[in-house]
Each structure stands twice: as structure tokens, then as C-alpha cells.
């Protein structure tokens, strides 16, 4: 197989490729030579099929990068011809390949539909067979590894391709049905809570529908159940008949059953799961499936990164020493990774203690709980919880309830009501919310009886007063019964309006957090990986909520750090307050900044209000790679694990555990992680401070946020026969590899702009030790200290700039982040001048000192050009003299300064990142021309600048290579050592 795949990847000639495909079919899938047809003519002799095997036709190409259009033109005829001779009920599939790439197609109502793509991987040849397996050989007994499941059902799988095309057709038929629209709107509202912003789309809803159908089928396969009636499977009745409740419920995603052909889609997806030996699952495979469905460009935007199994298993082992006794809750359980490993630890402990299997299963249901507000994550987690039981599922009690709930663990919907509280349940699009008494919701038995009365009333169209009376008889207080009577009146209206069949599911799940926060039901261990969503990425409404919530715990820092406040801090505080017993333990995976950043200081020092939590341990994972983000080169924030104890006070311990090692891949197994990770005790990271020890702290400021870059950074455009005007050159926005979505798909502005607004710009990469590297050109709409809009530029007679800004503002209004009212959260003008960083550069300064905002090495230089604008990737300050500029640059370029602030830097996936103002926490004195040491430093820096200026740096070299060349030359000259010695004398130890 490796030789076949290696040869295919080279895009061999036609006959060689035919031989490789034939060998692949025979060796990989057992195709008999007599079953393979080569060069088969179509019935009408209009063409020939290169290779045919049963219901599969294969078209061979030299290079699909050039010939895909030809495939699309010819494939419908090939598929139509093949379908005439295929067995009834068998879907005909077409493959086109040049060896390196395989494209899969089918016909849907006579139209060609793309259903999958695979690029061969010579390092993992077996993955080609896994991808082809559902198409060519649905053989049972496949091991359910994360890779196998993702290839079989992920974004580029044949299963997803076929299902997605059908779902789009079904959606066009029933998408406007009142019940379907209600479910889609409720789903959208929950996602707003998950991400703090509007991310819902029809495409994502269809993707979630596909995934939910799939995992419900997997739940049935765990019990070897035959799936006859799709409605039984999707509603959970199939499992309920076997005594398992809560694993599958009627939810937002059963809408395909309302459309023609929906039953067939559900059956075909369920059939795809037969091949896997699901009881042999050893890790949370469903998270890999979910991640594989997300567009890689969207994954960072959605924060869709789940905890690796090896890390979850280690946290579980450390946090749950007595698994048979301790009650465990993951308040943001995602796909269920921590639940899986907590259950496996409990099961192993039970077996070692000789506990009967049935009792172990009952203990699992009574000890390991999960909540998540993401509806698809909950569907995954419930099935993951079931998969974790393995063979013990056969020893379950007559009734087994899976304790994983779709709910808001932060309880944003809980509102004080006199001495009590009520839970508000949104009714989209604009109806008043449903109101449920929180006291009644915390009594599970009474709440279930109340739900039964509500359902009975809807079936009989009872009067609200009758329901109020029945709920009072069931044991509710007069006030609670009256409120539920009013709620029933609303439900009855929704029922008569065709918006029903979902509310029991919604109410039962969204109120579970209230029950779990009751003192009798709280956990001994709160574990997991809460959402890391920083304040600046939230909607306006969620910003208000988070700010007030953090203030209530004394965790709000505000000021310049407001944008860095993080949702995970609220999970730490509110999770402990509402779900953890006195003396209970928290064990949460958090951003590395939680160890030492000022924005998390309130968490660390135990000074929270409303609840006390002392940090009792921590793990630093900043030197373990990869954990989250891309497989290589990621700048995703690095990670730590914090352990805390409720109702205990005190500072963090003096030391923490640091883990170091490079993993073979992000989803490494526990054994692979154990082999490469080393562990050591180290001093707790020194807290970063907001206090300045140097007077330069108030003089330096960050450069301007020139974003989106293609609206500001420019290149000179071709001007045509008439050439550009000298006073208004023709420009085009510069497109770069570092542009971010959604701007990568936006056409940059183009046109003439008055030269007075064409400025040179210093980026972070323009700054090198003692030398300014390449500057870029930009359009800067600033005049006389004012930032111009299209309208104001037009009013001042700047027609070129006005047209440029008009185009940019239109595109900004269309693509920038929106508030709840649909309008941009800020104007383009306000964005360019964020925190007054652009107008601060209106005052001309003949000499300015610059240093880099981020990196593994600090670089500083000075600029003697008052026309240049400084970008936000650099910090700058006006200097009073050339000597002062040289003195400051000398200090900042030394390894002494770097070594003293390195441990304060935020840590990226592999390396330290931002310097920002950390350098000014050192006692760097202001330049004094009467101080001999200061003068000597300035003279040495001027000498270094002269050397740096004479170094020939190739234009093609990367800026990091240019910086290295300068540093090495200064070392060779000896001036670098001189400056290091002088700075060592300047700064106290």
C-alpha cells in the first residue's frame, strides 16, 4: 500500500494510474479481476468509462487542478449510464482522480453533486483506504480510532458529502415550516450564549443536524439495536424501550423527518455506523469528528478546540483520588472528554474493589455529570458518556438515566424575584420569555410532575386555571403554581400557532443547572476546560453581562485590561459558588495567563467576593506542543491547569509543576504523551504587574491599529496610458498572507488618492536592532489632527480620498463585527483611531524611539522622519535628543532586559509573545546628559547604529533573518558586549 500511494501521489501517466487503481481495488478491497471493467463504452457510445466496479465509476485524469471542469461536464453521463445497471437501492458513485487527489460525485435528482475530496497522504497511506471504505467496502469490525471516525464522517468524507447535499434539498422544502423555524431560532439563541456573538447560519445548522443524526445512530449501535423507524431513533424512544433515558432526546435536529426523503437520509446515515466496533472505544472519538467538520478557517473564530485525551486523563487522575465516592461535574463538558475519563477511572476503581458490574453502572450515573449550553456538544457528550461504559452497558439497571444536560451553567437566565428567583426561557423571535420558578426547578421530582401537567394540558387544550390548580395539588407553592399557570397560557398559544413539540425538551434541560446548584446536589470535584472567550470578542449584550458578573465577584479589572477579561474566570468563580460543595476541588484547563497575568490576579489571590477559592496547585504546559490550535506554527494561547479548593484562603503555592515535551501530534495517546513528556518542579511564574518602575512607561504608547490592512497598506497600481497624477497617485490596497478573515475575501480599494494622505508606515517587522528596516506605503486619512471620513474628506475637497474611504466604509459596514442591532460595533474611522493611537501621531516629532510589541527577542531603534506613521505592532515615544534615543535603544536591545521580563511575557503555543509595557516594570532611569554612564551608553548605541546601517541585507531575506544578521555583526564587533556591560551597571540586580 505505501508504494501504491507514493506512486499515485506523483500523478503518473494514464496507463500507470489505471494499473495502480486496479491494484488498489484488488488488494485493498478484494475486487476480483473479472469484476473490473476497463474502457467501458456508454450505452449511446458517446464516451468511455475508464474503470467501473459495480456501482462505482472511476475517471482517470492527468491533473485535476486543470481538468476538474472536464470531469464535471462528463461525470453526469457516466453516472446515469452506471445507474441503469446497478442493483436497486444502490447509490451509484463516481470518482475522478489524477492519483494525488480523489473527487467523489453522485447524482441527486439528476443533478451532479460533489460529495467528497481526498488528497493522498504518503506518510499515512492507510487513510486512503479508510476514506474509500464507506464507498467501496462497508466492512464491519473497524476500530473506532479518532482518525478512522473523522475520515469516515468528517468534512471531506463521502458520508458527509452525500448527506449535506440531501440536507440542503430537504431544508429548501421545510425550512420555513413554523416548527422547524422555531427550532432553528432556539438553536441560534443557544449558540449566541456559547460564543457570545452571532455565529449561527443555515449551513452550520445543517452541519449540526448531520452530526446529531450520526451520534444518535451511534448510540443505538452501542446496544446493537436495529434502526427501523427513524423517528424512534431520533426521539430517543428506541433507547428508552431498552431502559436508557437521557442519552437521546427529541431536539432541534429531527426536522428532516418532515420533508420528503428525510426518513431515507436518516436510515442511510445510520447504516454508515455499522462498520465500527463501538464497544472498543478507548478515547473520546466524537470530538475528533466534530472538529473535522469545522472549516479550518472558522475553527479559531469559534474556539472549537477540545482537550486532548492524554491531558484530560491526567487531570482526572490528579483531581479525583476517590472516584467511587466523589461526585464530579463538568460545567462545560463539550463532547464529553473529561466525562469519558472520569467514568473510565471510576469503572477501573470499581473493578479493582470487586464492585458488581450493575452497581458500577449505577454509581456512574450517580457520580459523573455534565452540562453544556451547546446543543450539539450535549448530543456528543451523552453518547460519549454511554461509550465510556464499554461492555458494562450490558449490565445496566432496568432504567439508566444519562446525566448530561443541555443547560447554561452560568445561569444567565436566572433572575432574582423577591426572596426567590425565576428562570427565563427565551421564545424567539420576539415573544415574552417563559417563566419558571427556580425553587420548583431545584426539586426534580416536583418539576417533572409539573412538566407532566403542562404536557397533559396541551394534549387536552385545558384552561390555565385548571393547570395552576393541578400543579398546586402536586405540591407547588401558591406563587409557583400561579406562575406556571401563566407559563402554560403562553405554551398553549405556541401550541396553537404550530410552535410546539420542543418545549418539554427545552424546559427539562435548561433548568437542570438550577437543580445541580442545590446544596444537596453539588459536586465534590468541578473539572473541565471552560470557554476561553475574551471580552473584546463578545457581543455588546454579552459584554455587559460579563462585566457585571465579574464585578460581583471582584474580578473585574477594567481600564486598559478590559478587553482581556476572560469568560473562563467567571466559570472559575461562579462554578465554585453554585456547583461545588464546601471543601470541594476545582481542576480547570485555562489560558497560561491565569498563572501570572494581572487580569487574573483576583482569581489567584483568593480575594473574590461571594465565594472563597484558594489555588492549591498548578501545571504549566507552555512548553508542551501541540495542545490546541494548528499542528505546527500555531500562535494559539498556551495552556495551564489550575487546581483550587473552595472555602479556603491563601496565595498560590511557591512552586508549580512544569511539563515539557513535543508530542507526535495533537491527539497523541496517553502512552505517546508519557513517552515524550518530562516533568519538573519550578517556581510559580512571577506575576506581571501594572505598576511602572521607569518614567518611560508614561511616555511610550502603542502604534495605530491600521486594520483591515488591505484598506490602509497600499501599492502603486498601473495607471494606464494617461499615467498617474503626481499629486494623486493611483493606488491599490495591498493583499498579504497575514490578512485575516473575513477580509481575505474582500476586494481592496483602488483609485487615485491625494499625495498628502499617502504616508510611509513602520510595521513591527520594520524595527531591527539600531536600524529601521523596510517601510511600507499606506493611505492615512488624517489632516490637521482629525481623522477623516468619506463625507468629511469630500467636504474638504479631497475627492480621491473620499472615493477610497467610501469604498472602504461600505465594505467595512458589510463585513465588520455587528452588534445586536445589526450595525457595525464601531465605524471604520473609530477603528483606525482606536484609543486615539492615530491622532496621537499628528504632532510631528523629529526623533522617535521604536521597539517591537512582540517576539522572542526585543528589538529597538530610532527614527528620524516625522512623516512616518507607527503601526500597532510597535511602541514609540518622542525623544528629546538623538542621544536620548540612542540610550533608550541601547537598553532595550540587551539580553539583560530580555532575561528580566521574559518570564512575564504571555506565552504562545510554543514561545513567549508580547512585550508591550513589561520592559518599563524595570527601573530604567530617564536619560540624563550629566550622567557619564548614560552618555557612554548613548555613544555605544550610536556606534552600533553606524555598523548596522552598513550591513548589506538581501531584499529577499525575512525580517527575522535581517535582525539576526545585525545582532551577529554587533557581537563580532564587540560593541554588543560593551552595551551589555554598561546596562548591567545601569540596572540594579
Q: What is the mean pLDDT of residues 385-394?
A: 90
Q: Lowest-confidence range among 307-316, 692-701, 838-847?
A: 692-701
Beta partners for residue 104, in sequence order: 95, 116
In this structure, is the dihedral angle defined by the CA atoms of residues 648, 650, 651 and 656, taken in order, positive or negative?
Answer: negative
Chain region(s) in the chain for CATH 3.90.1570.30: 2-137
Answer yes or no: is pLDDT of 633 > 60: no
Q: What is the mean pLDDT of residues 113-135?
A: 82
Q: How do residues 709-735 score in pLDDT, each as one tens digit?
A: 999 999 998 765 556 678 899 999 999
Range among 213-222, 439-448, 736-745 with highest mean pLDDT value: 213-222
Give the N- to C-terminal CA distance of the chain in Å, as an integer: 63
Q: Considering the domain 2-137 in this protein, what is its CATH number?
A: 3.90.1570.30
Query: What per-residue string of b and e applies to 917-955 under the rule 16 or more CB within 10 Å gives b?
Result: bbbbbbebbebeeeeeebbbbbbbbbbbbebbeeeebee
Quickly state the pLDDT bin for 691 (edges 50, 70, 90). Answer: low
Q: How do residues 904-940 score in pLDDT, each as one tens digit?
A: 776 655 555 688 888 998 999 999 999 999 999 999 9
Check residue 973 and give its pLDDT: 96
Output 807 or 483, whichever has higher pLDDT. 807
Cα 764 from Cα 854, distance rounded (Å): 8
Output 449 or 973, whichever has higher pLDDT. 973
Range among 260-269, 302-311, 453-462 with highest mean pLDDT value: 260-269
Answer yes or no: is pLDDT of 302 > 60: no
Query: What per-residue string of b and e applies to 75-90 under the rule 16 or more CB within 10 Å gives b?
Result: bebbbebbeeeeeeee
Answer yes or no: is pLDDT of 37 > 90: no
Check residue 297 and give its pLDDT: 47
SS3 of the chain: helix, strand, coil, percent, to 5 = 50, 20, 35
Quickly state the pLDDT bin for 201 (edges 50, 70, 90). Answer: confident
- 3-state SS of 574-622 is HHHHHHEEEEEEEEEEEEHHHHCCHHHHHHHCCCCCCCCEEEEEEEEEE
Check residue 551 and give its pLDDT: 93
- Residue 267 sits at the vertex; the CA angle it makes with 264 and 273, to the nearest 5 degrees, is 145
Answer yes or no: is pLDDT of 572 > 60: yes
Check residue 527 and give its pLDDT: 98
Check residue 634 and give its pLDDT: 36
Answer yes or no: is pLDDT of 630 > 50: no
Cβ(99)–Cβ(4) below 8 Å? no
Q: How do residues 606-624 score in pLDDT, each as one tens digit?
A: 778 999 999 999 999 988 8
Residue of 429, 395, 37 lying closest to 244 (CA atoms): 395
Q: Lowest-confidence range among 518-522, 550-554, 637-641, 841-845?
A: 637-641
For the chain, give the mean pLDDT: 86
Helices (H), 320-475: 337-352, 357-367, 375-388, 438-441, 444-460, 464-473
Query: What per-residue string of b and e applies to 542-579 under the rule 16 or more CB within 10 Å gives b?
Result: bbebbbebbebbebbbeeeeeebbbbbbbbbbbbbbbb
Answer yes or no: is pLDDT of 570 > 90: yes
Q: What is the mean pLDDT of residues 951-976?
A: 95
Answer yes or no: is pLDDT of 662 > 70: yes
Helix (H), strand (E) at residue 95: strand 93-97
Q: How do residues 246-297 score in pLDDT, each as one tens digit?
A: 888 888 899 999 999 999 899 988 887 876 777 667 667 777 777 776 654 4
Amino acid at each position: 500500500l505505501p508504494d501504491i500511494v507514493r506512486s499515485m501521489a506523483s500523478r503518473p501517466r494514464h496507463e500507470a494510474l489505471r494499473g495502480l487503481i486496479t491494484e488498489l481495488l484488488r488488494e485493498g478491497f478484494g475486487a476480483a479481476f473479472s469484476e473490473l471493467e476497463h474502457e467501458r463504452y456508454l450505452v449511446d457510445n458517446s464516451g468511455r468509462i475508464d474503470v467501473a466496479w459495480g456501482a462505482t465509476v472511476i475517471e482517470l485524469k492527468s491533473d485535476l487542478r486543470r481538468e476538474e471542469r472536464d470531469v464535471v461536464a462528463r461525470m453526469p453521463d457516466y453516472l446515469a449510464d452506471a445507474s441503469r445497471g446497478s442493483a436497486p437501492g444502490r447509490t451509484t458513485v463516481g470518482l475522478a482522480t489524477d492519483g494525488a487527489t480523489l473527487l467523489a460525485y453522485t447524482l441527486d435528482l439528476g443533478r451532479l453533486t460533489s460529495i467528497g475530496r481526498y488528497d493522498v497522504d504518503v506518510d499515512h497511506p492507510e487513510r486512503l483506504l479508510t476514506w474509500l471504505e464507506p464507498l467501496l467496502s462497508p466492512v464491519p469490525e473497524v476500530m473506532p480510532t479518532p482518525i478512522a471516525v473523522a475520515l469516515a464522517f468528517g468534512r471531506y468524507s463521502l458520508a458527509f458529502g452525500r448527506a449535506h447535499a440531501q440536507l440542503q434539498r430537504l431544508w429548501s422544502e421545510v425550512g420555513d415550516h413554523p416548527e422547524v423555524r422555531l427550532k432553528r431560532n432556539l438553536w441560534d439563541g443557544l449558540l449566541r450564549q456559547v460564543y457570545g456573538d452571532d455565529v449561527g447560519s443555515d449551513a452550520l445548522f445543517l452541519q449540526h443536524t448531520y452530526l446529531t443524526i450520526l451520534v444518535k445512530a451511534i448510540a443505538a449501535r452501542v446496544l446493537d439495536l436495529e434502526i427501523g423507524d427513524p423517528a424512534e431513533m431520533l426521539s430517543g424512544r428506541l433507547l428508552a424501550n431498552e431502559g436508557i433515558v437521557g442519552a437521546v432526546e427529541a431536539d432541534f435536529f429531527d426536522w428532516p423527518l418532515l420533508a420528503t426523503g428525510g426518513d431515507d437520509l436518516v436510515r442511510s446515515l445510520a447504516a454508515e455506523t455499522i462498520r465500527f466496533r463501538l464497544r472498543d472505544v478507548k478515547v473520546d472519538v466524537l470530538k475528533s469528528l466534530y472538529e473535522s467538520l469545522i472549516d479550518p478557517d472558522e475553527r479559531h473564530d469559534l474556539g472549537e478546540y477540545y482537550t486532548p485525551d492524554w491531558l484530560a486523563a491526567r487531570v482526572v487522575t490528579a483531581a479525583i483520588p476517590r472516584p467511587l465516592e466523589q461526585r464530579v461535574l463538568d460545567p462545560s463538558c463539550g463532547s464529553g472528554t473529561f466525562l469519558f475519563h472520569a467514568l473510565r477511572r471510576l469503572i477501573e476503581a470499581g473493578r479493582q474493589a470487586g464492585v458488581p458490574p450493575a452497581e458500577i453502572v449505577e454509581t456512574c450515573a450517580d457520580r459523573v455529570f455534565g452540562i453544556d449550553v451547546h446543543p450539539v456538544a450535549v448530543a456528543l457528550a451523552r453518547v460519549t458518556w454511554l461509550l465510556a461504559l464499554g461492555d458494562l452497558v450490558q449490565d445496566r439497571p432496568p432504567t439508566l438515566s444519562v446525566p448530561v444536560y443541555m443547560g447554561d451553567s452560568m445561569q444567565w437566565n436566572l433572575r432574582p424575584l423577591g426572596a426567590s428567583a425565576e428562570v427565563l426561557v427565551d421564545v424567539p423571535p420576539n415573544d415574552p420569555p417563559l417563566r419558571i420558578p427556580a425553587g420548583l426547578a431545584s426539586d426534580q421530582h416536583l418539576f417533572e410532575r409539573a412538566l407532566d401537567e403542562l404536557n397533559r394540558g396541551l394534549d387536552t387544550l385545558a384552561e390555565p386555571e385548571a393547570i395552576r390548580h393541578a400543579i398546586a395539588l402536586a405540591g407547588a407553592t401558591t406563587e409557583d403554581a400561579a406562575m406556571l399557570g401563566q407559563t402554560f397560557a403562553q405554551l398553549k398559544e405556541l401550541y396553537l400557532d404550530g410552535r410546539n413539540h420542543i418545549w418539554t425538551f427545552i424546559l427539562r434541560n435548561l433548568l437542570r443547572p438550577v437543580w445541580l446548584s442545590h446544596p444537596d446536589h453539588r459536586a465534590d470535584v468541578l473539572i473541565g476546560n471552560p470557554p476561553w472567550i475574551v471580552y473584546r470578542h463578545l457581543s455588546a449584550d454579552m459584554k455587559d453581562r460579563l462585566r457585571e458578573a465579574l464585578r460581583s465577584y471582584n474580578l473585574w479589572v477594567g481600564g486598559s485590561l478590559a478587553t482581556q477579561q476572560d469568560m473562563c474566570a467567571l466559570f472559575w468563580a461562579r462554578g465554585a459558588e453554585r456547583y461545588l460543595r464546601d471543601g470541594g476541588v476545582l481542576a480547570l484547563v485555562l489560558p497560561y495567563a491565569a498563572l501570572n497575568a494581572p487580569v487574573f490576579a483576583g482569581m489567584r489571590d483568593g480575594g473574590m467576593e461571594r465565594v472563597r477559592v484558594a489555588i492549591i496547585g498548578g501545571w504549566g504546559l507552555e512548553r508542551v506542543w501541540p495542545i490546541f490550535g494548528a499542528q505546527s506554527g500555531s500562535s494559539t494561547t498556551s495552556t495551564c491547569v489550575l487546581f483550587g479548593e473552595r472555602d479556603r484562603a491563601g496565595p498560590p503555592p511557591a512552586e508549580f509543576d512544569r511539563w515539557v515535551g513535543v508530542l507526535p501530534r495533537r491527539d497523541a495517546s496517553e502512552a505517546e504523551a508519557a513517552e515524550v513528556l518530562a516533568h519538573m518542579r519550578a517556581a510559580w511564574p512571577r506575576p506581571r504587574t501594572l505598576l511602572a518602575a521607569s518614567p518611560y512607561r508614561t511616555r511610550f504608547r502603542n502604534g495605530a491599529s491600521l486594520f483591515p490592512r488591505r484598506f490602509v497598506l497600499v501599492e502603486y497600481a498601473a495607471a494606464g496610458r494617461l499615467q498617474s497624477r503626481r499629486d494623486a497617485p493611483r493606488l491599490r490596497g495591498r493583499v498579504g498572507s497575514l490578512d485575516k478573515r473575513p477580509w481575505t475575501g474582500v476586494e481592496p480599494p483602488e483609485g487615485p488618492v491625494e499625495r498628502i494622505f499617502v504616508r510611509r508606515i513602520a510595521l513591527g517587522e520594520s524595527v531591527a536592532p539600531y536600524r529601521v528596516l523596510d517601510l511600507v506605503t499606506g493611505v492615512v486619512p488624517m489632516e490637521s489632527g482629525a481623522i477623516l471620513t468619506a463625507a468629511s474628506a469630500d467636504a474638504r475637497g479631497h475627492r480621491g480620498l473620499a472615493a477610497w474611504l467610501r469604498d472602504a466604509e461600505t465594505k467595512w459596514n458589510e463585513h465588520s463585527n455587528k452588534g445586536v442591532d445589526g450595525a457595525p460595533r464601531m465605524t471604520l474611522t473609530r477603528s483606525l483611531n482606536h484609543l486615539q493611537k492615530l491622532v496621537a501621531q499628528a504632532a510631528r516629532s523629529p526623533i522617535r524611539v521604536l521597539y517591537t510589541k512582540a517576539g522572542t527577542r526585543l528589538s529597538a531603534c530610532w527614527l528620524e522622519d516625522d512623516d512616518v506613521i507607527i503601526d500597532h505592532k510597535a511602541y514609540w515615544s518622542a525623544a528629546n535628543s538623538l542621544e536620548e534615543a540612542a540610550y533608550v535603544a541601547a537598553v532595550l536591545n540587551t539580553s539583560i532586559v530580555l532575561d528580566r521580563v521574559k518570564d512575564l511575557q504571555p506565552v504562545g503555543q510554543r514561545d513567549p509573545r508580547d512585550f508591550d509595557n513589561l520592559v518599563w516594570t524595570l527601573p530604567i532611569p530617564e536619560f540624563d546628559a550629566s550622567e557619564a554612564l548614560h552618555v557612554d551608553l548613548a555613544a555605544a548605541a550610536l556606534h552600533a547604529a553606524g555598523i548596522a546601517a552598513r550591513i548589506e541585507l538581501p531584499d529577499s531575506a525575512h525580517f527575522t533573518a535581517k535582525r539576526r544578521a545585525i545582532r551577529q555583526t554587533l557581537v563580532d564587533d564587540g560593541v554588543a558586549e560593551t552595551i551589555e556591560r554598561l546596562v548591567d551597571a545601569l540596572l540594579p540586580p
